[in-house]
């Protein structure tokens, strides 16, 4: 079976033809140009889908923000997209059934169908990017909740008096373990550590901080340790709640690799109840640059499976 996966971002979108059991067999990328408005963006999106769709039977879309029944309720990076019928419109323009899901949920489904969650029924997935996204599969089912807005794992409070979060709370996981948080912590440390390797670059990025940590840079290691502690506390909590087989971490920050994952695996154990030690694995998403398309495609595959 073939489906089209659409990874819709605020700057670019990627459209891929995905074959079950095979992966991405064709893909195109284009600029989103959000400023052109919903009609123009969906037309260009549909055009790209029609180019690659071949004999695909459905389209899956992973989009940021709050998605309910194919409608984007609101999405921070898509100003003006309030209650827009994304799924319905794309379906009209492509002639295919279209299923839309929040990108973090799509990521979790992508891991179930193509990644580190294959054959597993209990998966906790985290994406560490600009924000922290969460997706949970429990007893084989994507956890969405009553109105489809659950699984906000990035907004569990880890440090009650921590940094303020965009959501209004203080010390959410997102304020301590996202790429944005890493950059913020680096800038906060500039005064005390002006000679840090981090500041040899024009612009501070999460990648630069993690690279510096790998080189043994003091400030970078401090930041790495704070990220690790926050993630370890959060993951222990999710493990106590969901008793998963696997915790899968993706997003830009996960590319740091061992410098993040090695101490993280050790630290988590500190916060686990004894009966949960050794019951799960923490792994880096193996899907890399195709995780967006594969996640989106999995949204469609998941729906088709249940028919």
- By the criterion CB under 8 A, which residues form the site for its own copies? 66, 73, 121-122, 136, 138-139, 141, 143-153, 155-160, 167-169, 233, 236-237, 240-245, 271, 273-276, 279-280
Nearer residue to its own copies within complex by CB, 28 or 167: 167
For residue 106, the minimal CB distance to its own copies (Å) is 17
Q: What is the DSSP string of 209-245?
A: HHHHHHTT-HHHHHHHHHHHHHHHHHHHHHHHHH--S
- Measure the CA angle with vertex 65, ends 63 and 69; round to 5°: 70
Contact, 57 vs 3, CB < 8 A? Answer: yes
Q: Min. distance of Cβ 179 from its own copies in angstroms? A: 21
Whats the size of the chain, residue-wise?
307
Distance set, CA 98 to CA 39, 75, 92, 116 (Å): 17, 19, 9, 25
Toward its own copies, which CB reaches closer, 27 or 267?
A: 267
Closest C-alpha among 166, 171, 102, 157 to residue 135: 102
Q: Return the number of the residue (1 or 157) whose C-beta is nearest its own copies.
A: 157
CB of 6 or CB of 239, closer to its own copies: 239
DSSP 179: H
Question: Between residues 169 and 205, which has the closer beta carbon with respect to its own copies?
Answer: 169
The two three-digit tokens of residue 295, written as one number: 């996640």
CB of 8 to its own copies, least distance (A): 20
CB of 201: closest distance to its own copies in angstroms? 33
Report helix angle 38-52 to 86-94, nearest 10: 50
**Alpha-carbon distance 251 to 181, whole Å?**
14
What's the min distance (Å) between Cβ of 230 and its own copies? 10
Please say which residue, 32 or 66, places its beta carbon nearer to its own copies: 66
Least gap, CB of 279 to its own copies (angstroms): 6
Pairing of β 246-250 and β 123-128: parallel
Q: Are 101 and 110 in contact (CB under 8 A)?
A: no
Residue 130 Cβ, how far from its own copies at the closest point, in Å? 17
By beta-carbon proximity to its own copies, the closer residue of 152 and 302 is 152
């Amino acid at each position: 079976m073939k489906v089209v996966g659409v990874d819709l971002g605020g700057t670019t979108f990627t459209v891929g033809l995905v074959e079950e059991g095979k992966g991405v067999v064709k893909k195109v990328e284009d600029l989103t140009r959000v400023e052109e408005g919903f009609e123009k963006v969906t037309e260009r999106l549909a055009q790209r889908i029609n180019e690659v769709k071949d004999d695909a039977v459905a389209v899956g879309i992973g989009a940021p923000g709050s998605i309910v029944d194919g409608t984007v309720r609101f999405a921070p990076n898509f100003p003006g997209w309030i209650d827009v019928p994304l799924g319905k419109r794309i379906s009209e323009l492509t002639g295919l059934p279209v299923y839309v899901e929040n990108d973090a949920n799509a990521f979790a489904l992508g891991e179930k169908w193509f990644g580190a969650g294959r054959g597993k029924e209990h998966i906790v997935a985290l994406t560490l990017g600009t924000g922290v996204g969460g997706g949970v599969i429990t007893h084989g089912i994507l956890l969405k909740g009553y109105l489809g807005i659950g699984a906000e794992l990035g907004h569990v409070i880890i440090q009650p008096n921590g940094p303020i979060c965009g959501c209004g709370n203080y010390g959410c996981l997102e304020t301590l373990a996202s790429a944005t948080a890493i950059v913020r912590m680096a800038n906060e440390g500039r005064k005390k550590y002006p000679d840090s390797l981090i500041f040899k670059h024009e612009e501070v990025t999460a990648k630069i901080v993690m690279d510096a940590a790998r080189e043994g840079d003091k400030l970078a290691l401090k930041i790495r340790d704070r990220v690790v502690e926050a993630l370890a506390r959060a993951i222990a909590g999710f493990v106590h709640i969901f008793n998963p087989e696997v915790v899968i971490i993706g997003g830009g920050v996960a590319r740091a690799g061992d410098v993040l994952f090695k101490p993280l695996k050790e630290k988590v154990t500190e916060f686990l109840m004894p009966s949960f030690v050794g019951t799960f694995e923490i792994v880096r998403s193996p899907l890399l640059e195709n995780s967006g398309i594969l996640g989106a495609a999995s949204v469609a595959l998941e729906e088709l499976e249940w028919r």
